[in-house]
């Protein structure tokens, strides 16, 4: 009996104390922070696509010169610590899911992994991948930050309308981003509700970074190192690894639409890029602001370059020729069964819409085809865009709330894929679309329109501008199901989670 | 040394065994207690969660929203889009903000007697809100405003009314300019338009026109406010979590500091200003003194009347925050009396406080008929109309969580018992706020048809009151269909909706969006001592004693209500009309049945006005309203009314029913809205707001967002249509025939602020060290401030021309009568259409003084008219008419003469109208 009682106390002690215990971590390194990497315009303002607030340059974070990164033994979660040299304040990002921030293969690769797997890992590495975290408490399992900064007032008043920045302001959110320029280039940013109050860059050396990627994917180091090396060339395609083909709904004519409409964007993050002249077209030898959507494909396109360590260049542009996008021919729609999964350990039953039909849409442009696949039919609705964040497999959003990301990976549907492929003899090769200037795809389903159709939008390199919109008729056999999807639709939390319901 | 006997040894041995066994039992007992305590805490946590969380008792299957696949109705096809015109200059906009001045109203009346309706805009004469330049940078000075009268100059070739501001007309003629500009309501009036405009004025909220002295000209009464800022004192700042889901994924405490500086960008000290005084041209006056200007006519013939300030001599100034004015001859002595609806000093806005404050209403009884002198005696308390809470007029029950005595507070959550209580009265800096109610709207209506005009008073977080007039001697709060529960009553609109010749009453409330709102979890401990808002929410969702739905009180039977069905918009129905969006609350399944196919889902209302949009004879309803800002501001979703035109279809049988044709008539109170794809594609759209918007560049009427309570574990979701959140901050709405074509036009007033929904808005910026820097929201719980955008005053011109109409003008020049326009008269045309003549519409801060307007249908004519005059004799005039339409019929009570002025004519002719 006494032993039993003793055991009870031990169990009780364990139960009571366990939540306070932290997982053991190892220090991966201490890295220098550069908060002044951005180009400046002649008037001294930063050349950035982000809103810079009153606090930028006046915050305590600007006094921090380095960060330390530690990780759990399995390298899945990390802690990022910032403190100033005087140790007056600290800010610590906790439960940072490192395995969500490094490139991942969200399917079962070949054994041993082959060129197609390497291609997909490279496409993910060269896609921007950031997580934004709120302030949290002990015991939070989703990424969050803790800080000794307590003030929630970003500014004080010295008189009517005389705003004084508060250096001790606790940021609204802090984000970590593995940027798209190359392995190991990362960014740290803090925001208030209006925009950035802090942004800095840091590099994680290959000896630290590559093991994170290899461990997260179960790959060996040499393959990982090789896969992450930039290669602009085409590679062999193996879609069977990502899905199983089912019946085809045939081919439908596809047309570009809204060619005479003003240029625009599918996500708010691009609004400032357009407003600040990130987009130019070549007209009669001169660079000019585009007027209509059609000009973006009809004329040579010049977009502001994104350069190391991960900033927009005030002086360099990249030139793209996207004329082929203006000439779609047909689209083939097919049902597929996904073989992709965000978290293989979850098991098939936990995947949202796992039993629902999934579609693959192939839009032909002469010898090229745009392939969009594993599109879950219940999420193809009238109310919201279905976004594919990049070319490759399951490319994650460039910047995501940590909560949404956690929910997506826990509950979300089978990852979708997007490829541009071209024929080479009898072989289908997958093209590196980063070189072509393509990045995102948005699908809006209009099952109640006359005629029912999908509106498919392709957006550009660095998500700067929408490039082209297509109208793809919905095949009759799918119409009723798509109508029902819209009728039943309520956004999944992994799309809609927000800190508030304010606008 | 002693040795224990075997017996002792045995006993010791037993003790040795027993001693640990008692210890074990004690430990087990403690563990059991601890386990019970833990189990209790678990239960408490569940109780806390369910107490603050919405849940679905009836998880209805997702059904097809009508918006997605309904075919347009015949009425929708017949609808003719209104044309919005740019009729006024920038002085008509509201350049103030929520913190400086809660609301600015509008009045439509014929100021100069030329037969055309003019427009008078109330403004914030003490405005300190600084606007921004083109780059969104704050400028150094506010734009202080004076009230502005815009005089109707007739129409352009396309039938659009043209307006010129009084100051421009005054510029053209140098005589009587001081008297002409008096109604700008400045503290020290200008003598000429060349003098500085940017001078201190009164903070005008509402205005009303009536012929108070019986000289045949419309006088002007202006209701004013005192300085004040809602949520300016910590005592009143416990407001946020009931409205928004807080930052981060954790439940937050109910009290979230709402510093005044964050809203106002100025240093401000709250104080009670009801007794505050200041110096003006009148001498010493109350800070909220109202103004009465007698119309002297246009003596210099410049199209601009002159005015005489009789506020002081008439004894009508008052000292409280006035939001509503209603005129009636309450004692039928032949002159016009006045009900003034008041609210609290804004510093004492109690929604986020734990105690109450309001403003006593005032009843000014006119002595003109008795003494020949235009002088009023304030008699509200004496006649039981002041609305002050006391033993005879008790507060509604508020509800708080009952604390179980002796035990730790957590144990109270197990039982979740709520108890009724009455809060105390709010004190700030040692001063106690008013004990009255928050009376946003008032309207006169002879509910019991005894000839004595009664009043309805719409009280926020209180009762909708029917004050029955007891033979002109006193008033009695009388039970009616909506008097059992309290509400957030804010607007009134009287009309005979069902054509039974008994006038009904639309009472606007917080609306049905509450039923599809995702409330965040509040701090349950605060429920022991809740804020007024939380106590009201408990009253509604726990005890069923508060109701936020609109009501139409049935005319002639005020103990019942009309429950019209509504065919929702095929384009943008209210969010709460989406079948999967209604969530059950504790009290709803039994106590508050929700009719998703009726008025219940309709949103927040401020301004509400009834008019016959297509002159088919049935009175339609239009209303707008946003609670704290564009898109509802802090009360996003819950407090957003995008504008609704509910077209009355009672003529089509099946009783009264409405059809929401706001889209078809293009009357959404949303800027930049495009309707060009409505007919062919069935949707409307606009460019997305450039700030505080997460989605792509265009927002379509079919776009939706889903919200949930905080925390990944929470799966309750509701959907909101994105476009609704782009609504302007609507306050006033009034219908009147401004271009004289026989079809009522619509005037809407919005409030300004740093919350632009424009697609080109920039962040709010300040200049510092020579650089323009973005100003972040003052704390995490607020949207990003944008460049300042003034509140627009929008005029929508009705473009219907198909149906016939009749206008009726009443004149009573009888000796001893000073109610020359027969305010209070009931007029019935063709024994089918009823209208009541009012001065004081009931619409929130919006009034019109116009002739009575009757739609006659496609080929209709007026064959008879019956006038019930507002006098002690209950005089009735019954006339047969010679098939009249499209013109103005003038009926003179004194000699029975009838005149007819066809549309387009400037002169009237006598006609023969035999008595019926």
pLDDT at A93 over 70: yes
Which residue reads 């006056």 in tokens? Answer: B285
Angstrom distance (rounded) from CA A59 to CA A225: 38
Of A296, A301, A459, A470, residue with least CA distance to A391:
A459
Check if B703 contacts A (Cβ < 8 Å): yes
- Mean pLDDT confidence for B271-293: 96
Six token digits for residue B107: 């009045």
Q: How far is residue B137 from each of residues B265, B754, B860, measured CA to CA in Å?
A: 14, 11, 57
The shortest CB-CB distance from A384 to any of B138, B682, B704 is to B704
**Bridge-partner residues for A443, per DSSP?**
A386, A456
Q: Give Cα B827 to chain centroid, integer Å.
A: 28
Average pLDDT, chain A: 90
Could you tell me the pLDDT band of residue B273, with boundaries at 50, 70 and 90? very high
Other residues' Cβ atoms within 10 Å of the Cβ of residue B198: 13
- Mean pLDDT confidence for A323-330: 96
pLDDT at B207 over 90: yes
Q: How far is residue B97 from each of residues B101, B634, B764, measured CA to CA in Å?
A: 6, 14, 14
Six token digits for residue B457: 């008073």
CB B138 to CB A161 under 8 A?
yes
pLDDT at B521 over 60: no
Burial level of A426, CB count in 10 A (0-12/13-18/19+)? exposed
Give the angle B84-B88-B91 at the CA atoms, nearest 5°.
135
Of B849, B831, B833, residue with least CA distance to B841:
B849
Measure A112 CA to nearest chain B CA, in Å.
Answer: 37
CB B707 to CB A197 under 8 A?
no
**Residues in CB range of A284: below 8 A, 6 or more apart:** none
CB B777 to CB A192 under 8 A?
yes
Residues 77-136 on B with a CB inside 8 Å of A are 128, 130
pLDDT tens, A47-59?
Answer: 988 889 999 999 9
The shortest CB-CB distance from B776 to any of A45, A55, A142 is to A55
Q: Give Cα A179 to chain centroid, integer Å.
A: 10
Q: Are B260 and B378 in contact (CB under 8 A)?
A: no
Of A368, A490, A387, residue with least CA distance to A433:
A368
Six token digits for residue A131: 């997580």
Task: Give the nearest chain A residue to B710 (CA atoms).
Answer: A499
Check if B515 contacts A (Cβ < 8 Å): no
Q: How far is residue B441 from each of residues A214, B317, B603, B843, B884, measured CA to CA in Å?
A: 69, 19, 18, 7, 36
pLDDT at position B611, please? 97
pLDDT tens, B463-478?
Answer: 999 999 999 999 999 9
Which residues of chain A are within 8 Å of residue B712 when distances are taken between CB atoms?
142, 403, 406-407, 493, 497
Measure A436 CA to nearest chain B CA, in Å.
Answer: 23
Where does A396-503 have alpha helices with state H?
402-411, 433-436, 476-488, 493-496
Which residues of chain B are within 8 Å of residue A163 when distances are taken between CB atoms?
265, 766, 768, 773, 775
The shortest CB-CB distance from A271 to any of B690, B725, B777 is to B690
Could you tell me the pLDDT band of residue B768, with boundaries at 50, 70 and 90? confident
Could you tell me the pLDDT band of residue A12, with boundaries at 50, 70 and 90? very low
pLDDT at B285 over 50: yes
Six token digits for residue B619: 């009175």
Check if B248 contacts A (Cβ < 8 Å): yes
Which residues of chain B are within 8 Å of residue A139 when distances are taken between CB atoms?
none
Query: In this predicted structure, which of B304-308, B333-337, B576-580, B819-823 has the lowest mean pLDDT?
Result: B576-580
Angstrom distance (rounded) from CA B361 to CA B342: 5
Of B217, B555, B533, residue with least CA distance to B400:
B533
**Residues in CB range of B4: below 8 A, 6 or more apart:** B12
Six token digits for residue A28: 């991966």
pLDDT at position B261, please? 57
- Mean pLDDT confidence for A27-44: 92
Q: Are B655 and B645 in contact (CB under 8 A)?
A: no
**Residues in CB range of A221: below 8 A, 6 or more apart:** A210, A211, A214
pLDDT at position B63, please? 38
Of A92, A280, A97, A106, residue with least CA distance to A190:
A92
SS3 assignment, position A479: helix
Q: How far is residue B880 from each of residues A196, B643, B856, B914, measured CA to CA in Å?
A: 75, 40, 16, 5
More confident position, B23 or B111: B111
Angstrom distance (rounded) from CA B617 to CA B567: 19
Could you tell me the pLDDT band of residue B248, with boundaries at 50, 70 and 90? low
SS3 assignment, position B902: strand
pLDDT at position B64, please? 40
pLDDT at B740 over 70: yes
- Mean pLDDT confidence for B324-335: 97
- Mean pLDDT confidence for A172-188: 96
Angstrom distance (rounded) from CA B643 to CA B645: 7
| A163 sits in which H/E element | strand A163-165
Query: In this predicted structure, which of A348-357, B95-104, B553-562, B684-693 has the lowest mean pLDDT?
Result: A348-357
Q: Give Cα A407 to chain centroid, integer Å.
A: 15
β B846-848/B106-109 pair status = parallel
Which residues of chain B are within 8 Å of residue A464 when distances are taken between CB atoms?
none
- Mean pLDDT confidence for A180-206: 95
Could you tell me the pLDDT band of residue B2, with boundaries at 50, 70 and 90? very low
Which residues of chain B are within 8 Å of residue A264 when distances are taken between CB atoms?
696-698
Quote helix, strand, coil % in chain B, to nearest 5. Answer: 15, 30, 55
What phi, psi does B273 have (nearest 5°)?
A: -105, 10
Other residues' Cβ atoms within 10 Å of the Cβ of residue A198: 26
Six token digits for residue B881: 């008419």
Give the angle B528-B530-B534 at the CA atoms, nearest 5°.
125
Angstrom distance (rounded) from CA B581 to CA B60: 9
Report the complex ipTM: 0.88
How many beta-carbon contacts under 8 Å exist across A and B?
201
β B277-280/B283-286 pair status = antiparallel
pLDDT at B51 over 70: no
CB A159 to CB B696 under 8 A?
no
Which residues of chain A are within 8 Å of residue B784 when distances are taken between CB atoms?
193-195
Could you tell me the pLDDT band of residue B18, with boundaries at 50, 70 and 90? low
Could you tell me the pLDDT band of residue B592, with boundaries at 50, 70 and 90? low
Which residues of chain A are within 8 Å of residue B575 when distances are taken between CB atoms?
none
Give the angle B347-B763-B701 at the CA atoms, nearest 5°.
90
The shortest CB-CB distance from A487 to any of B68, B708, B779 is to B68
Measure B16 CA to nearest chain A CA, in Å.
Answer: 14
CB B782 to CB A193 under 8 A?
yes
**Radius of gyration of chain B, Cα coordinates, nearest whole angstrom:** 30
Could you tell me the pLDDT band of residue B262, with boundaries at 50, 70 and 90? low
The shortest CB-CB distance from A385 to any of B138, B696, B718 is to B696
CB A503 to CB B692 under 8 A?
yes
The pTM assigned to this predicted structure is: 0.91
Q: What is the DSSP letter of B786?
A: B
pLDDT at position B65, please? 43
CB A134 to CB B682 under 8 A?
no
Q: What is the DSSP letter of B843?
A: S
**Bridge-partner residues for B431, per DSSP?**
B428
CB A503 to CB B719 under 8 A?
no
Q: How far is residue B50 from each of residues B240, B414, B451, B663, measured CA to CA in Å?
A: 20, 11, 52, 39
pLDDT at A154 over 60: yes
């Amino acid at each position: 009996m006494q032993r039993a009682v003793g055991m009870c106390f031990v169990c009780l002690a364990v139960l009571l104390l366990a939540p306070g215990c932290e997982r053991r971590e190892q220090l991966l390194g201490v890295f220098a922070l550069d908060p002044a990497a951005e180009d400046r315009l002649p008037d001294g303002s930063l050349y950035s696509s982000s809103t810079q607030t009153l606090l930028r340059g006046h915050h305590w974070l600007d006094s921090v010169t380095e960060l330390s990164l530690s990780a759990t033994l399995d390298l899945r979660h990390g802690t990022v610590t910032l403190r100033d040299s005087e140790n007056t304040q600290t800010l610590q990002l906790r439960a940072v899911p490192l395995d969500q921030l490094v490139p991942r293969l969200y399917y079962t690769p070949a054994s041993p992994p082959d060129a197609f797997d390497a291609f997909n890992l490279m496409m993910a590495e060269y896609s921007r991948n950031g997580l934004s975290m709120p302030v949290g408490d002990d015991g939070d399992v989703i990424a969050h930050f803790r800080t000794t900064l307590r003030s929630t007032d970003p500014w004080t008043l010295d008189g009517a309308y005389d705003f004084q920045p508060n250096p001790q302001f606790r940021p609204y959110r802090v984000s970590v981003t593995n940027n798209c320029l190359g392995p190991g280039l990362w960014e740290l940013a803090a925001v208030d509700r209006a925009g950035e109050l802090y942004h800095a860059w840091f590099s994680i050396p290959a000896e630290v970074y590559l093991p994170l990627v290899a461990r997260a994917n179960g790959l060996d180091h040499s393959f990982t190192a090789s896969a992450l090396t930039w290669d602009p060339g085409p590679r062999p395609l193996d879609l069977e690894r990502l899905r199983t083909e089912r019946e085809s709904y045939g081919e439908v004519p596809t047309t570009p639409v809204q060619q005479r409409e003003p240029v625009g964007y599918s996500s708010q993050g691009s609004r400032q890029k357009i407003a600040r002249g990130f987009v130019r077209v070549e007209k009669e030898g001169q660079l000019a602001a585009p007027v209509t959507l059609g000009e973006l494909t009809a004329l040579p396109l010049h977009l502001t370059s994104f350069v190391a360590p991960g900033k927009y260049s005030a002086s360099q542009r990249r030139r793209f020729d996207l004329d082929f996008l203006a000439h779609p021919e047909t689209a083939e729609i097919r049902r597929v069964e996904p073989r992709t999964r965000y978290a293989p350990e979850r098991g098939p039953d936990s995947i949202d819409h796992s039993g629902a039909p999934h579609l693959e849409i192939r839009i032909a442009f002469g010898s090229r085809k745009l392939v969009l696949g594993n599109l879950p039919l219940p999420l193809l609705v009238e109310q919201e865009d279905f976004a594919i964040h990049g070319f490759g497999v399951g490319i994650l959003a460039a910047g995501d709330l940590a909560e949404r990301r956690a929910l997506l990976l826990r509950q979300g549907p089978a990852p979708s894929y997007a490829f541009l492929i071209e024929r080479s003899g009898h072989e289908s090769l997958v093209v590196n679309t980063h070189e072509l200037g393509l990045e995102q795809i948005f699908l809006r389903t209009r099952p109640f329109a006359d005629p029912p159709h999908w509106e498919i939008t392709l957006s550009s390199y660095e998500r700067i501008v929408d490039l082209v919109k297509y109208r793809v008729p919905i095949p009759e056999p799918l119409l009723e199901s798509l109508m029902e999807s819209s009728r039943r639709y309520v956004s999944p939390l992994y799309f809609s989670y927000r800190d508030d319901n304010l606008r | 040394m002693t040795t224990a006997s075997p017996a002792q040894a045995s006993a010791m041995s037993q003790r040795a065994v027993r001693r640990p066994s008692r210890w074990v039992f004690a430990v087990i007992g403690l563990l059991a207690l601890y386990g019970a305590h833990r189990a209790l805490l678990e239960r408490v946590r569940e109780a806390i969660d369910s107490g603050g969380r919405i849940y679905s008792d009836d998880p209805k299957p997702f059904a097809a929203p009508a918006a997605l696949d309904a075919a347009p109705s015949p009425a929708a096809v017949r609808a003719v889009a209104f044309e919005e015109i740019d009729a006024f200059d920038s002085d008509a906009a509201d350049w103030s903000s929520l913190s400086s001045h809660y609301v600015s109203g509008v009045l439509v009346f014929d100021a100069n007697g030329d037969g055309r309706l003019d427009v008078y805009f109330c403004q914030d004469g003490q405005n300190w809100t600084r606007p921004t330049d083109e780059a969104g940078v704050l400028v150094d000075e506010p734009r202080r405003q004076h009230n502005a009268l815009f005089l109707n100059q007739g129409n352009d070739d396309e039938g659009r009314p043209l307006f010129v501001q009084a100051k421009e007309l005054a510029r053209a003629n140098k005589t009587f300019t001081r008297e002409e500009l008096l109604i700008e309501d400045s503290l020290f009036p200008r003598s000429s338009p060349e003098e500085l405009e940017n001078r201190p004025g009164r903070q005008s909220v509402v205005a009303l026109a009536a012929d108070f002295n019986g000289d045949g000209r419309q006088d002007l009464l202006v209701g004013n406010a005192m300085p004040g800022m809602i949520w300016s004192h910590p005592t009143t700042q416990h407001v946020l979590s009931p409205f928004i889901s807080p930052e981060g994924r954790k439940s937050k405490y109910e009290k979230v500091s709402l510093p005044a500086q964050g809203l106002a960008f100025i240093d401000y000290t709250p104080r009670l200003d009801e007794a505050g005084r200041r110096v003006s041209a009148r001498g010493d006056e109350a800070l909220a003194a109202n103004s009465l200007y007698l119309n002297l006519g246009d003596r210099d013939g410049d199209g601009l009347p002159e005015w005489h300030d009789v506020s002081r001599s008439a004894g009508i100034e008052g000292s409280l925050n006035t939001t509503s004015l209603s005129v009636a001859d309450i004692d039928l002595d032949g002159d016009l009396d006045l009900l003034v609806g008041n609210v609290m000093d804004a510093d004492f806005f109690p929604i986020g406080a734990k105690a109450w404050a309001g403003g006593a209403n005032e009843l000014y009884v006119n002595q003109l008929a008795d003494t020949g002198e235009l002088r009023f005696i304030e008699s509200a308390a004496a006649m039981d109309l002041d609305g002050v809470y006391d033993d005879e007029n008790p507060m509604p029950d508020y509800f708080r969580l009952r604390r179980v005595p002796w035990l730790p507070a957590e144990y109270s959550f197990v039982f979740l018992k709520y108890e009724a209580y009455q809060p105390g009265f709010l004190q700030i800096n040692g001063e106690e706020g008013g004990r009255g109610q928050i009376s946003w709207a008032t309207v006169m209506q002879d509910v019991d048809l005894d000839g004595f005009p009664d009043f309805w008073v719409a009280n926020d977080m209180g009762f909708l009151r029917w004050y029955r007039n007891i033979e002109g001697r006193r008033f009695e709060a009388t039970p009616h269909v909506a008097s059992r529960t309290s509400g957030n009553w804010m607007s009134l609109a009287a009309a005979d909706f069902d054509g039974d010749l008994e006038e009904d009453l639309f009472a606007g409330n917080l609306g049905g969006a509450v039923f599809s709102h995702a409330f965040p979890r509040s701090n349950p401990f605060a429920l022991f001592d809740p804020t007024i808002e939380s106590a009201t929410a408990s009253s509604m969702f726990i005890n069923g004693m508060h109701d936020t739905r609109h009501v139409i009180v049935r005319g002639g039977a005020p103990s019942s209500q009309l429950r019209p069905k509504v065919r929702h918009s095929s384009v943008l129905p209210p969010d709460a009309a989406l079948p999967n969006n209604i969530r059950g609350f504790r009290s709803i399944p039994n106590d508050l049945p929700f009719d998703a196919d009726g008025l219940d889902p309709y949103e927040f209302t401020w301004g509400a006005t009834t008019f016959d949009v297509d002159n088919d004879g049935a009175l339609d309803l239009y209303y707008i309203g946003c609670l704290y800002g564009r898109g509802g501001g802090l009360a996003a979703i819950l407090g957003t009314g995008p504008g609704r035109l509910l077209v009355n279809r009672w003529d089509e049988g099946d009783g009264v029913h409405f059809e929401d044709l706001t889209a078809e008539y293009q009357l959404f109170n949303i800027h930049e809205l495009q309707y060009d794809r409505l007919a062919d594609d069935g949707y409307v759209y606009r460019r997305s707001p450039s700030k505080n918007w997460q989605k792509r560049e265009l927002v379509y009427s079919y776009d939706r967002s889903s919200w949930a309570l905080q925390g990944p574990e929470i799966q309750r979701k509701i959907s909101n249509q994105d476009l609704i959140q782009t609504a302007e901050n609507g306050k006033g709405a009034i219908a009147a025939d401004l271009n004289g074509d026989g079809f009522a036009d619509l005037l809407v007033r919005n409030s300004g602020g740093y919350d632009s929904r424009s697609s080109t808005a920039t962040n709010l910026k300040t200049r510092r060290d020579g650089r323009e820097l973005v100003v972040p929201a003052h704390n995490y719980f607020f949207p990003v401030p944008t460049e300042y955008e003034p509140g627009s005053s929008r005029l929508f011109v009705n473009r219907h021309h198909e149906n016939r109409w009749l206008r009726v003008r009443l004149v009573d020049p009888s000796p001893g009568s000073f109610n020359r326009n027969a305010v209070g008269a009931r007029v019935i045309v063709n024994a089918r259409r009823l209208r009541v003549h009012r001065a004081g519409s009931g619409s929130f801060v919006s009034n019109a003084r116009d002739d009575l307007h009757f739609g006659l249908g496609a080929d209709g004519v007026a064959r008879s008219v019956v006038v019930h005059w507002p006098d002690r004799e209950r005089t009735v005039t019954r006339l047969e008419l010679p098939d009249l339409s499209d013109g103005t019929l003038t009926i003179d009570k004194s000699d029975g003469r009838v005149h007819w002025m066809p549309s387009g004519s400037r002169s009237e002719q006598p006609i023969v109208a035999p008595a019926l």
